[in-house]
Amino acid sequence: MATLTGLGTGSGLELETWVTALVNAEKGPLTQVTAQKTATQSKISAYGTLKSALSTFQTTISSLATASKFNLQTATSSDTSLFTATATGSATVGNYSINVTQLAQAHKIASSGFSSTNAVIGSGTLEISFGEYNSTTNTFSVNGSKTGATITIDSSNNTLAGVRDAINSANAGVTASIVNDGSTNGARLVVTSKETGASSSVKISVTDSDGNSSDASGLSQLAYDPTSTAGAGKNMTQSQAATNALLTVDGISVTKSSNTITDAIQGVTLNLLKVGTGTATNLNVATDTDGIVKNVQAFVDAYNALDTTIRNLTNFNATDSTKSGVLLGDSGARSISTQMKSIFTQTIDGTSTYSTLSQIGVGFQRDGKLALDSTKLKTALETNFSDISKLFGASGTTTDALTAYGGSSTATKAGTYAVTVTQLATQGTMVGGGAPNLTITAGSNDKVTFSIDGKDYSITLAAGTYASTQALADQVQQQLVSAGSLAQIGVDGGGALKITSPSYGSDSRITLNGGNGASDLFGSATSTTGVNVAGSINGVAATGTGQSLKGATGDDSEGLFVKILGGSTGSRGTITFSKGFASQLNEVTTNLLSDDGLLATRTDGLNSSITRLTKQEEALNDRLDAIEKRYRAQFSALDTLVASMKTTSSYLTQQLAQLSANS
């Protein structure tokens, strides 16, 4: 507000004090608006605190909203020097007898010695492929699912070190290193398969620029065909055979290509470390009671922390109202608290054993806080372990072994729904018009291009005459894998090549685009597009995409996904869907924190109030400025008048005094 100085100096009156008092008397409305604005700003800050608390709560709850957090198991080996194990939660609790007789190994082959890493080897190409060598029949079966590579060696990389670097840069499924044994010609190239197992044996075919691709000179020194002989194509030596892991589980023989085994015992991963002594080692799979108790306690603690924040923001202090919570009586905060507590008092439908938290030892205390009775929870875990997870996460249980729960939405309601299939999903295929030409000539009929599920792939086949259509199919498979496709190649009943898409449904299709080898390999190929699964959930037509059926909009099953993994058409049993407490709390919290949720709405409303109150403040300040100016103008005139009268009075007094002195 504008300030005028010197008011009252003429009259000697306390005019400045009078103006201030009169203006302050007019400030009542401004004081009220300022107080409202301060209170509103405090509420905005309080809602920020509440939002932060809800975000922290959601972080914990969302991680507990999946069944896996409550399906915890331990897998303990009685000799961890032989193997270790982990369990996913779906394993059968009990003891298993494990005997490891052989570890899986990666294939290693080594070249003859060279004088140094700079020794020139030769030029040409190296083709690295993988397969399994049978020493009894002296045959090598190509592993079409493993990607190899063709590597060009020229004057830029024809040294021992250059070849090593070229192999490592080619991402060929092997690693190359140089080992020096200390002798005069001790530098040796060692090639190691990146994967273990008998089917990951390495084969190196050479096209040597010197014209002889199998002798022991030039680039062909690096040739390794396990079916050949030294100096005639088997010119590197094997330093470690490719072997599978061999073990017995409860007396049953198991053969695996890796020392990490995920499918010998359902729900258990074995990590083999050493061959045993012949005596079986015990593996104990048990419920991880402590881990589950820890997660349930985290659930309880997360709610209590949020509840404490809400209580602090809404509390009433009977002795000193100024110490009451900023959001005392606020409908938004009250709504959040009510929503949360209403979920805890619900009964979870669709579960077989437990339907309330109190049944597993979680309940409210007199002070309104949640508490966990860990003894009661552990008892529940011992009797009905598999049902605990349904109290917390969203889950679905099917009665048909070839149907599976695939997910849900916030619209999906708990319940049991019938599943009917009228059409099974299929994969897109392409079948050649007849038996393929088994002789592949470089630059003549070695290239083919495909479109698989909408993506283009180009392959180049290795030249040569293939022993069978299956052998040619294996080569096509290898090259497609190398190109990045998961499509499967085989031979149909008529002897033609057949490609099957890795996906299901109407987007699953394969077409032959061209290439110089398209005609020789596939002739007049026939393509068949896949179809989506079709059927109903809860008696209402569902949407089929690939192998998944999705519950219809508006039905109780809306958003429920059921995967149809095979089987037949017709009735496929039921799926029972339940939405646990953590899942529901996560959904509520997500809605509260959304851009159009309660918190955003309340904060926007409060910010609008701040804008309105600010405008009122400005208007009232302008009015007070005008009032003060008016008062100052009035009192300034009074000051001038009084000063003038005082001057006149002084003059008259002087004149009267002179008259008296002269009389």
What averages of pLDDT result for each successive group of 10 residues across the chain (663 residues)?
54 74 79 84 90 92 82 93 93 94 97 95 94 90 80 95 96 94 93 95 94 92 94 94 96 95 95 93 93 91 93 87 85 89 82 83 92 92 82 89 92 92 97 94 93 93 90 89 88 94 96 94 95 97 97 96 96 92 90 90 89 86 82 77 80 82 74
C-alpha closest to that of 45 among 313, 308, 339, 321: 313
Q: How far apart are CA 85 and CA 271, in angstroms?
A: 6
- Residue 271 burial by CB count (10 A; 0-12/13-18/19+): exposed, middle or buried? middle
**Side chain identity, residue 188:** R
Considering the chain, tell me which residue range(s) the CATH 3.30.70 domain(s) occupy: 427-528
The architecture that CATH gives domain 427-528 is 2-Layer Sandwich (3.30)
C-alpha closest to that of 248 among 276, 217, 213: 276
Strands (E), 187-310: 187-196, 201-208, 237-240, 245-249, 252-256, 260-265, 268-272, 281-287
Is the CA virtual torsion 174, 177, 180, 186 positive or negative?
A: positive
Structure tokens at 176: 């190359």
Please, which contacts does 312-316 make with residues 24 or more away whose CB atoms are closer than 8 Å?
313/46, 313/49, 313/50
C-alpha closest to that of 379 among 355, 354, 344, 348: 354
Structure tokens at 100: 């490891």
Cβ contact 372:378 at 8 Å: no
Say what the pLDDT of residue 663 is. 65
Say what the pLDDT of residue 99 is. 96
Say what the pLDDT of residue 640 is. 78
Question: For residue 396, what are the β-bridge partners?
Answer: 577
Largest CA distance in the chain: 161
| Other beta carbons within 10 Å of 34 | 15
CA angle 244–245–251, rounded 5-degree value: 130
Specify the DSSP element, H or E, that contains 496.
Answer: none
Cβ contact 53:630 at 8 Å: no
Cβ contact 272:103 at 8 Å: yes
Q: How far apart are CA 305 and CA 291, in angstroms?
A: 21
Say what the pLDDT of residue 8 is. 64
Say what the pLDDT of residue 146 is. 78
Q: How far apart are CA 573 and CA 538, in angstroms?
A: 11
Q: How far apart are CA 237 and CA 112, in angstroms?
A: 8
Cβ contact 517:533 at 8 Å: no
Specify the DSSP element, H or E, that contains 344.
Answer: helix 331-344
